[in-house]
Amino acid sequence: MKKDIIYSLSGLYRDDFRVTGYRFGKGEKTCCIIGSLRGDEIQQLYMCGQLVKALAAIEKKGDFAHDREVLVIPSLNSYSTNIGRRFWCLDNTDINRMFPGDPEGETTQRIAAGVFEEIKQYKYGVQFASFYIPGVFIPHVRMMKTCKENTSLANLFGLQYVVLRTPIAMDRTTLNFNWQVSGTAAFSVYTNATETIDENSAELGVSAVLRFLSRMGVIKYRCHGGYMGTIIDEDDMMNVKSGSAGIFRGARSVGDEVKRGDVLAQIIHPYEGVVVSEITAPADGIVFFAHKKPLVTENTLAFKMIKRLHK
C-alpha cells in the first residue's frame, strides 16, 4: 500500500486541505474507488476505510495481480466533515456538482479538476454515493445512461439491483456522468445510510467492490457469489410523494412487498398529534427507497417503488 496526496490547497488559517489516496498493486490503472464527496457522507467514508483495510491485507498476502493498480480515495471534502457540514464549508457548494472541474475556477471547481485529472486515467470507477434526498435504499449499483454504460459489468458487483438513470441537466456535472463520458466505466454503489453507519449494508457495499475486483482478475478473494442483478430503468419506478407536511411515521421499509392501497406512511400534525394524511401504495410492488427524516414537507419524494410486472 502506498499513501499519496492526490490534490492539495494551501490554507490561510488552518492546515492545508489535502485529498489523500491509497494505491494498491502496480501497473495498469485499473480501478479507482471514491468515498465521501460531501461532509455528511459518513457511511461512504467508513466503507472506504474498510475497503483500504481489506485491500491492504489482500496485498500483504500476495493476492494482488502483479500488473494492476487500484486507487482508493476515502474523502474529497474532509474540511466539511470536520465541522459537520454537508457542502463545502466556505461557500456551501457541492463538489459533486462541479465535475469535470476548472483549474482556474472557484475552490470546489479546482478540487474537482485536480482530482479528476488523476482519476479519469482509470479503466473502472466506483463511487460510494448518497442520494440528494435523505432516505434509505435497497443496496444497488447505479449507472448513467450515456450510451457507454455496461450492465454486464454492473452485474459483477453481485448486488440485487442495477439501476439505469437517464441524465438530466444537474447530472451532467456529477462524478459518475463525467467519468463515463471521459471513457471510464463508472458505477455508483448505494447503501442504506449516509450520516450514520449501517454495518450490514456497509459490509454489502465493501463486499460488492471486492467481488467486482475479484471477478475482473485484480485480486484473489473468496466471497459469496451475490445476486444476478435485476436491471431497472429509474424512469420506470413509481415516485410516491407526501400529500402534506408534518411528522413522518413510516409504516413500510425498503424491500417490503406491498399491494395497491397499503399504507406506506402517516403524516402527523406536529402540534395536535392527529394523522393529517396517509401515503399509500399506488400499485402492487416493492419499496425501493424510503424517506428517513422525522419531518417531511408537502410534495416531498417519500418513496420510490418498483412496480410488480408479473402477478
pLDDT digits (tens, 9 = 90+) for 240-269: 999 999 999 999 999 999 999 999 999 999
* Euclidean distance between CA atoms 221 and 245, whole angstroms: 48
Do 263 and 152 share a domain, yes or no?
no
Domain of 289, CATH number, reads: 2.40.50.100
Q: Could you tell me if 101 and 116 are in contact, meaning their C-beta atoms sit under 8 angstroms apart?
A: yes
> How many distinct structural domains can be found in the chain?
2
Do 47 and 187 share a domain, yes or no?
yes
Domain ends where: 233, 254, 275?
Answer: 233
What is the residue type of 68? Answer: R
Q: What is the pLDDT of residue 112?
A: 97
* Euclidean distance between CA atoms 150 and 206, whole angstroms: 21
Do 12 and 82 share a domain, yes or no?
yes
Residue 66 or residue 57, greater confidence: 57
Do 29 and 83 share a domain, yes or no?
yes
Q: What is the pLDDT of residue 13?
A: 67
* Euclidean distance between CA atoms 220 and 51, whole angstroms: 14
**Statement: residue 10 has pLDDT above 70:** yes
Query: What count of residues does the chain have?
Result: 311
**What is the CB-side half-sphere exposure of residue 46 using CA atoms within 13 A?**
19
For the residues 131-139, what does the mean pLDDT come to? 88
Do 244 and 220 share a domain, yes or no?
no
For the residues 23-28, what does the mean pLDDT come to? 96
For the residues 7-25, what does the mean pLDDT come to? 88
Domain ends where: 233, 255, 272?
Answer: 233
**Domain extent at residue 274:** 237-307
Do 268 and 166 share a domain, yes or no?
no
Domain ends where: 177, 200, 233?
Answer: 233
* Euclidean distance between CA atoms 39 and 194, whole angstroms: 10
**Statement: residue 85 has pLDDT above 80:** yes
**Statement: residue 29 has pLDDT above 70:** yes
Do 208 and 142 share a domain, yes or no?
yes
For the residues 159-179, what does the mean pLDDT come to? 95
- Phi first, then psi: give them for residue 129, nearest 5 degrees: -105, 165
Do 229 and 279 share a domain, yes or no?
no
pLDDT band at 310 (very low <50, low <70, confident <90, very high): low
Nearest-10 crossing angle of helices 42-60, 199-215 = 40
Do 260 and 178 share a domain, yes or no?
no
Do 149 and 270 share a domain, yes or no?
no
Do 287 and 219 share a domain, yes or no?
no
Do 293 and 189 share a domain, yes or no?
no
